[in-house]
Chain A
Amino acid sequence: MLPAISAFLGRFSSLFRKRRMESEMSEELAFHRDRLREKYLQEGMSASEAERAARVRFGDAQRWRERLREIWSFRLLEELMRDVRFSLRLLWKSPGFTAVAMATLALGVSANTAVFALIDSLLLRPLPIPAAHEMVVLTMLEDGSRSPTSFCTPFFRSLEGQSDVFQNVFAFVNDTLQVRADSGNVNVHGVMVSGQYFAAMQVKPLLGRYLTPADDKEGGSPSGFAIVISEQFWKNWFDGAPDVVGRKLTIANVPFTVVGVIPKSFMGADPTQQPQIYAPISADPIIDAPRDHLHGGTHAWWLTAMARLKPGIELDKANAALQSVSASVLHESGGEPEWIKDEEMHHFRFGAESGSNGFAYVRSVFRKPLLTMFAMCGGLLLLACLNLASLLLARGAVRERELATRRALGATRARLVRQLMIESLLLAGLGTGLGVAFAPMVSHALSALLSGGNGPDSMVLDASADWRLYSFAASVALIASVLIGLVPALRATDGDLNEQIKNGQHAQQKHARAKLIPRLLMISQVALALILVSGAALLATSLVRLYRTGLGFDPHGVVNIAFSMDKQQLDGDPLIEIYRQIEEGLKTAPGVKEVSFQSIVPLSHRNWNGTYTTPGGTRQLIWLNSVGPEYFHTMRIPVEQGRTFTWNDTKTSGMKIILNRSAAKRFFPTGDVVGRQILDRDKTVYEVVAVVGDVKYRDVRGPATPAGYVPIQQDPQKKPSFNAVVRVDGPWAPLVPFSRELAARLAPSIPAPVIRPMDDVVDTSISTERMMALLGLFFAGCSLLVTAIGLYGTLSYTTARRANEIGIRIALGAQRLRVTMMVFRENAVVVAIGTGSGLAVAVALSTMLTSFLYETSTRDPWILMAATLTLVGVASAASILPALRASWIDPMQAIRSE
């Protein structure tokens, strides 16, 4: 062991056995003195002479012990502990300052840590599987850019056999499964996976086995369809029965056999989903009946495809291998020759991207908002640190005299700086600790805000802590400490402390440098605050405009009740008859005013479109919906011409269609529209019976799209599932049990209907904007508060320091108003420069927000002016108080108190 390390350890351990060491030292010295005395006795001295000689020779035992103690003492650590105790006492003595400092810091840190936790779980965390870095997401590229669609069955099945560069190629698709329970069918969240899915994951099953390629065959394996269930589902549904393997589960009216249980530590290749049931994709015709994606050829794009690279294979090589097979896969897909030619012209090819953290659709949606949010949080934290630094600096100025006195009494400068540093580090440590403690709560709230409640697109974000989060929190704490610890460092370079003892509070020599640093800190604070406030103002204005924009219908008081009819026996007219009875039933529910049906809920991200032509040859793509009688009245969509649908518009009465204004204008720019005809691809003739107002179909943000409505009786789907659209007066909650009873009576085999208010659908469709605006406003409020505290605090401290000077001015006849202005001016300059520079940066940075803004320019002068005025108003309010207080100084008292 190196002598230095040995000495360090020795000193350290001596801290804990001080008393024993003391007595051992005494004993050692006593022994030596006794031996000396014995020696003198032997040399012929008398007892008393020997005693005296030994004592003279030896001197004061106390002094020796002191010297030995010195050797063993851990000076640095002991002094450090003394400093910590002293600093804690100081902080404790000014609770207001300490509370404000810790609160602002905790706010900044918890917001940052919380947002980072979300970023970590959504964007950074690898899948909890062995060698996750080998996972890749398969993509399709046209003209070099990534096509956003999923894979179709022929493409995937061709790639599934690629074993040159891949160990496994697999696909999956999230789905909702209808599972038979004692009380009828219920919806369970699940995923359909291809044969090699589990082999690629390399995770051991909790019970039984996983699905294999043999399960992913047409019609399942010879023993029927197999499924794997999640640990949670096993516990809830099967009460954790140990003999669950081999038990049957009826899904979509067909028995499936449970072959294994998956541990809860692994949920699948999409980290934002928690499927309960894993079924083979070959079961799609049953599970998704009456739809069939599996045999949909190149018309059903439904699978997310991934692969596991062979060890040592690079992404480039995988891409090259995929490129070489692209053409043949395309040609073998069975797609129409025209389409294949078109794809070839666009240089269609397959590609692979890193997929170590799996594939989540929401990632593409939330990446940018999360990163923007992160930037806002970072700004807030920086603001909190600057604020703390300037408050400490101002406080230090007030303490100049104390420090100078301590210096005069023998404290070294290093020692004083160390104590100041410890004070700021304590604040930083306690504040960040508090912030990190609150972070999980904040990230929980954020992920709830982000995932838009319990809508069908809801996702699960696992924001639990991992090493990335811990190291992030640690580095945040470190950065905060450095920024705040800046203060003592600045103080240390701040001239000669000894000068102060001579001058005390009279020190009025203007150290230009000493005044510059606190001002710069405050200026950057004001600038940062303005950036946050103007960003928030832009986002909030855009949200308000988004809400004010006409949807074309009135969502308030409308609820959608989804009935899943796809797995029951009835179809055609008998099924329509059920819907009619549902309508009759719902009309009797308390508070219900109108009832109708729609196939597609506007703004719910589901859509259906088709290309129609007029006999004159005008082709137009329109967005479609099938709706019941009274639909337009229920939704409050104005009927401009013609008549709405009735129950008599059946399949046999001739195809009818209602166009919205945009579609009508495109098809028939001139003349009457009602009574004219349009044709679909199969040359089926539709008679236009009415023109209605435009409605936002897919997106609130853009203009309304051309749309057409057909009667539900003429809906082309087999066993169509419709949403009842109900306008209610008062609370809609009673409709939940009511519609459940209604469904149980009229269609006993369907799952409980799902109710969703239209307001909720609208909110979810703009949840990103909502979240950004809410957070922006929250951060802006915090930054205004922090800045106000900073401006108020620093001015109060400097005024307190100048009390004497101000007292003399007043005594000499200075007017109180002038005194107020003199003090106020100090901050006014800071705020003016700060807002000026902040505004410039805000304008430059706000382009970051462009994609979140609806009909709002990032340079809207009114918004920027409003933000500036708000900040200036708050800053003035915070600065006027200390200024007024300065003018109330009693000159006699101020001068005497010196």
Chain B
Amino acid sequence: MPGGLFSSPKMIREENTDSGSLLQGTLEMLVLKALARGPQHGYAVAEWIHQVSHQLLKVEEGALYPALHRLELRGFLKAEWGVSENNRRAKFYRLTAEGTKRLDSESQRWARLSAAVAFVMQSS
């Protein structure tokens, strides 16, 4: 697989469709976006993406946690232990300043990319 640019087919599953893989950067972008609203634990991130995408996107745990840890390692996220809604100890991720910047640049990139793809697909 060249350069790991593409995710493995199982990373993000689009429910009810058989369509194939999505770009890996996409998952990281979605995670950053989920955390833009405030600190969250991993489960809430997955749930949020699931709901906001109208149950179209389902994030696999096997992809979610490596993505979270990778982002933390690279300094885009900061992890702290806190107390969850149901009073349990949970690891909360928070966007750092670097992370916010990263989210901006990623969403711009995504906008350009999807527009470009749309142009291509809409051409006759």
Contacts and interface: CB of A to CB of B under 8 A. Distances in A.
B7 to A, nearest CB: 14
Interface in A46-70: 57-59, 64, 67-68
A38 B66 CA distance: 23
A28 B62 contact: no
Given A3-B98, A24-B81, 16 more contacts: A3-B75, A6-B75, A10-B72, A10-B75, A11-B73, A28-B90, A31-B41, A31-B84, A31-B90, A32-B41, A32-B61, A34-B88, A38-B86, A59-B62, A67-B62, A68-B66
Nearest to B71: A3
B86 to A, nearest CB: 8
Interface string B69-105: 1101111100001001010111100000010000000
Contacts of B43: 31-32, 35-36
A58 B41 CA distance: 17
Contacts of B61: 29, 32, 57-58, 64
Contacts of B41: 28, 31-32
Contacts of B91: 24, 27-28, 31
A67 B11 CA distance: 14
Contacts of B25: none
* 9 closest Cβ pairs, A-B complex: A6-B75, A3-B74, A35-B43, A10-B73, A28-B91, A71-B69, A32-B43, A7-B73, A31-B90
Interface in A1-44: 1, 3-4, 6-7, 10-11, 24, 27-29, 31-32, 34-36, 38
Contact of A71 (B70, B75, B76, B86): B70
B87 to A, nearest CB: 12
Given A64-B62, A64-B65, A68-B69, A28 B74 contact: no
B95 to A, nearest CB: 14
A31 B42 CA distance: 9
B119 to A, nearest CB: 31
A738 interface: no
Contacts of A97: none
A559 to B, nearest CB: 80
A632 interface: no
A32 B74 contact: no
A38 B90 CA distance: 15
B74 A7 contact: yes
A686 to B, nearest CB: 97
A35 B86 CA distance: 10
Contacts of B66: 67-68, 71
Contacts, number: 65
Interface residues on A, range: 20 to 34
A301 interface: no
> In the complex, which of the residues A32, A59, A67 has the most CB atoms of chain B within 10 Å of its own CB atom?
A32
> In the complex, which of the residues B65, B66, B84, B89 has the most CB atoms of chain A within 10 Å of its own CB atom?
B65
B73 A28 contact: no
A486 B25 CA distance: 42
A27 B76 contact: no
Interface in A796-849: none
Interface of B: 41-43, 61-62, 65-66, 69-70, 72-76, 81, 84, 86, 88-91, 98
Contacts of A4: 74
Interface of A: 1, 3-4, 6-7, 10-11, 24, 27-29, 31-32, 34-36, 38, 57-59, 64, 67-68, 71-72
Given A29-B65, A36-B43, A71-B66, A1 B89 contact: no
A27 B89 contact: yes
26 contacts: A1-B75, A1-B98, A3-B76, A6-B73, A6-B74, A7-B75, A10-B72, A10-B73, A24-B81, A28-B91, A29-B61, A29-B65, A31-B43, A31-B90, A32-B42, A32-B61, A36-B43, A38-B86, A57-B61, A59-B62, A64-B65, A67-B62, A68-B65, A68-B66, A68-B69, A72-B73
Contact of A28 (B42, B70, B86): B42
Contacts of B90: 28, 31
A58 B90 CA distance: 18
Contacts of B81: 24
A78 to B, nearest CB: 16
A1 B75 CA distance: 8
Contacts of A24: 81, 91
> In the complex, which of the residues A28, A34, A72 has the most CB atoms of chain B within 10 Å of its own CB atom?
A28
Contacts of A57: 61
A71 B88 contact: no
Nearest to B42: A32
A38 B98 CA distance: 34
A59 B10 CA distance: 14
Contacts of A38: 86
A31 B41 CA distance: 9
Contacts of A67: 62, 65-66
A30 to B, nearest CB: 10
A72 B61 CA distance: 18
A24 B41 CA distance: 13
A590 to B, nearest CB: 87
A3 B71 CA distance: 9
B4 to A, nearest CB: 13
> In the complex, which of the residues A7, A71, A72 has the most CB atoms of chain B within 10 Å of its own CB atom?
A71
A31 B88 contact: yes
A34 B86 CA distance: 11
A306 to B, nearest CB: 58
Contacts of B69: 68, 71-72
A58 B73 CA distance: 23
A765 to B, nearest CB: 72
Contacts of A34: 88
Contacts of A29: 61, 65
Nearest to B102: A3
A4 B81 CA distance: 25
Contacts of B88: 31, 34
Nearest to B88: A31
A647 to B, nearest CB: 99
Contacts of A7: 73-75
Nearest to A65: B65
A41 to B, nearest CB: 13
B53 to A, nearest CB: 17
Contacts of B75: 1, 3, 6-7, 10
A32 B69 CA distance: 15
B90 to A, nearest CB: 5
A4 B41 CA distance: 25
B68 to A, nearest CB: 9
Contacts of B74: 3-4, 6-7, 10
